[in-house]
Chains A and B, each alone.
Chain A
């Protein structure tokens, strides 16, 4: 909202330097965005919050300035001679949809002379960055900018039946707006119609047909109150956001309706000549009563933390137009002016008004905050382990937007859930769904980097995937650790296994072959703890890679973060160090290619070999030296006793048991 300093002076005295005025405006809640010197005037751009429709006008801003500096504040008196003819005898107003229009007034001015506006009026209109049109239109705009009430002048002769019907549009009705926009009206839109057809879109824009033109002689002047939501919705539907619609959209003042109408009528008669008919057609569908609100002075320090003298509080409220109707030493009761009726209706609202003008800068006392102790939650601790660990291993932390496209890999899911959530009003068609896996997000990031020449990419992110539960339930938002690394399966699996070590997980974690969209079916594993699947590790499928245009080979992992939190071992307990040395023995065995390492491991432990502590994979070989369909696995067995140094015989006996078990359980043959 722009205001002109010169114009503001018409309503209040301003005798402080400009810098002080601008500073004050900001500190009372009218933030100054900019102030530009223009033709000897100062144009001030104010950021008016959405609750302050009253400050979408010079009078509203002037009232605030007068209250802030304690100066004079005057609203122009409106006085206009009237003819003998009565408005009620000339026209009529019918409101059919009172929910969208609680009040509509019409005045009639006969015999005007449409022409250009006088200089002073043109100057005002231009100072606000608008172009003068003609004297009638300029006057309505001037008064709107003056008091915040939008008005509209119809050419009375163009209104069928010479009367007004306020109603919702009928199916199929159209109107050509003043700016030549063709509008197909919907049935929920309010129109100002004459006896036959729509003549204006209520609160948004007038119709071209009934527009004031050079040939206009008689004018029907509208000043009304409309439902803010309805005006906003209609204005947006036609992309016709206007001075009028933004003001109606915030809500206008009940008492301003008639004042603005009289003000315009008087100016028309003064500038464009003609005669104002006696009286007004004023249809009111609700009984407006100003709200009566009490302020207990004792509540002021309870909220603000500082004392404000009762006399100051009352002075501020009065200056802002709140009329005290009862007062004692404990409280004051005020009537809320109609231009504040939407945002002031409770004691707390009055306290804010007092605070605003008493000065937020006075809320400046150092007072200690009582000490309170907080414990980091286990999930915070686990996150503080995982993220730095991945960074130390060379991973870059990404921050991806959770919108994805609807391709199979876009909406791929690693977890059981319903159909993906679709955004009704997406930013673009490729971002219309909520991801169900981090896979598409990290692949998109990888593609961006490949295109910029990066290689050996290692990315990770701890973030959310959105898993619909179906129906009206909110989706599950699963927090996952997602990792993408260029390289083979062993690389990505190694990263995941290292996290389990970082977190002191001591449960058995298994990896079982599994299939997921976007991942290579021959090289992807579900990560299991007991029967619960806590994650997925796999290589990117060819389809997924080509969807994103990726050239490199990538492994991907997505692990449920809360499962990790559950599995993380807190405060690992110290175990005494071994007193006797361990003995290592390497074995190489040949077996069918289909036998898994896990089966080999199980066969090793099934031997129940005494003092066997662990088995470590060393190498896998397939190739010419072996028969087709066979592989050789090399691994290391570690033996140790807590009671003595193991002898060669003891270890040899244990090895024999292991080899027998391998022969029996996985058909392995010792490789010589």
Chain B
């Protein structure tokens, strides 16, 4: 039996050497490896052998079969193709199969950028209600009953007790009411103000509020956090400056400017030739606010930073009309 198998191999090698075209090769393949080929016959005869012999012969037969298969393949690929009708190559310029492709909303992309950056800085992401009561949206934020910020022209009212939040700062209060320092949170959210809609204004927009409260925090730390954030989102060449401003819930208060991301601070139409882009408000948490949530302002200090996500997204993607963000036109959405 062993010799017979060895002979088959020799025979096959000769036949292969003699084969001149693909038809001849195919003939060899069928003769040895086909469904009714030589090896099929050998394998079916194996049952008659003793178990030990069966194992040995089986292994040998497999080796030879594999060798013939290998030689066949080698011959088929190495030999210059025997003149046959030349096949036209596949048109590789045809489009591939269409897989469905959706899109993320630009506001969500930017919100996720912020999430990532502030996670790296150790801030926890929190949410809170959009429908608020005057305590969280105003009183606790040091906006007293007679303050202009409470006017109906600046807020959507459902009743005297319920409004749509006009700023994400209300989330500061909600968080501090239930958590003690040290606090490091970032609160993104949808906010509402009855503004006349145009290319840069909408009554529905998005803010992010950052809050940090601990012992020993100062305006220096606030500026450093904002600078880290600026570098995180736009790169290390961005400069940050703060200017005095006024918000009822921070004291001292400041506006935050980034050096213009478009012109690098040299002056362009986006930054109105100033080299700076106004980003948002910030400041040290007003002692009244800390008092309102039961935190001792002699022991703890804190800072808050709030800014618009819409504006960041518009800068990032060169969107010149805020209305596009809520129009939900798929021709717009699919660009992101």
Contacts and interface: CB of A to CB of B under 8 A. Distances in A.
B122 A27 contact: no
Interface string B142-154: 0000101101110
Interface residues of B, number: 75
Contacts of B173: none
Interface stretch (A130-138, A214-222, A420-428): A420-428
Given A305-B220, A400-B326, A474 B102 contact: no
Nearest to A431: B203
B218 A352 contact: no
Interface in A341-355: 343, 346, 348-349, 351-352, 355
A646 interface: no
Contacts of A460: 102
Contact of A464 (B130, B255, B301, B334): B130
Interface in B221-275: 221, 223-225, 228, 241-246, 251-255
Given A50-B246, A236-B153, A374-B123, A363 B219 contact: yes
Contacts of B251: 348-349, 351-352
B143 to A, nearest CB: 11
B246 A393 contact: no
Interface stretch (A75-83, A364-372, A652-660): A364-372
Interface in B153-172: 153, 156-159, 161-162, 164
Interface stretch (B13-21, B44-52, B54-62, B103-111): B103-111
A392 B105 contact: no
Contacts of A448: 327-329
A424 B158 contact: yes
Interface in B62-103: 99-103
Contacts of B30: none
A393 B159 CA distance: 42
Nearest to A462: B108
Interface stretch (A121-129, A152-160, A405-413, A450-458): A450-458
A641 B334 CA distance: 48
A399 B326 contact: yes
Contact of A399 (B107, B157, B244): B107
Contacts of A461: 105
- Counting chain B CB atoms within 10 Å of each CB, the highest count among A29, A306, A346, A397 belongs to A397
A374 B100 CA distance: 35
Contacts of B152: 424-425
B236 to A, nearest CB: 13
Interface string B257-298: 000000000000000000000000000101100000000000
A423 B286 CA distance: 31
A391 B220 contact: no
A21 interface: no
B131 A434 contact: yes
A360 interface: yes
Contacts of B127: 479
Contacts of B146: 227-229
Interface in A226-250: 227-229, 232, 236, 249
Contacts of A305: 218-221
Contact of B329 (A365, A393, A449): A449
Contacts of B328: 398-400, 445, 448-449, 459
Contacts of A474: 129, 131-133, 162
B125 A380 contact: yes
Contacts of B151: 232, 236
B319 to A, nearest CB: 12
Contacts of B158: 421-424, 434
A369 B330 contact: no
A119 interface: no
Interface stretch (A3-11, A296-304, A313-321): A296-304
Interface in A446-493: 448-449, 452, 454, 457-461, 464, 466, 472, 474-475, 477, 479
A550 to B, nearest CB: 14
B187 to A, nearest CB: 13
Interface string A523-545: 00000000000000000000000
B220 A304 contact: yes
Contacts of B103: 391, 396-397
B184 A452 contact: no
A229 B150 CA distance: 11
B325 interface: yes
A15 interface: no
A454 B218 CA distance: 53
A171 interface: no
A28 B244 contact: yes
A644 B219 CA distance: 72
Contact of B224 (A366, A397, A400): A366
Contact of A393 (B102, B122, B164, B224): B102
A390 interface: yes
Contacts of A421: 131, 158, 162
Nearest to B254: A360
Contacts of B246: 29, 49-52, 343
Contacts of A377: 124-125
A356 interface: yes
19 contacts: A31-B243, A50-B148, A50-B246, A236-B153, A348-B287, A349-B251, A352-B252, A373-B122, A374-B122, A377-B125, A388-B104, A398-B328, A425-B157, A454-B330, A457-B330, A464-B190, A475-B131, A477-B130, A477-B131
Q: Which 7 A-B pairs rank lowest in CB-CB distance, beginning with the nearest?
A: A394-B100, A305-B220, A305-B218, A372-B122, A29-B244, A49-B246, A352-B252
Given A31-B243, A374-B119, A392-B100, 15 more contacts: A31-B255, A228-B146, A305-B218, A306-B219, A348-B251, A355-B219, A363-B223, A367-B224, A374-B124, A402-B130, A424-B152, A427-B194, A448-B328, A454-B330, A454-B331
Interface of A: 26-29, 31, 49-52, 227-229, 232, 236, 249, 301-306, 343, 346, 348-349, 351-352, 355-356, 360-361, 363-369, 371-374, 376-377, 380, 387-388, 390-403, 421-427, 434, 445, 448-449, 452, 454, 457-461, 464, 466, 472, 474-475, 477, 479
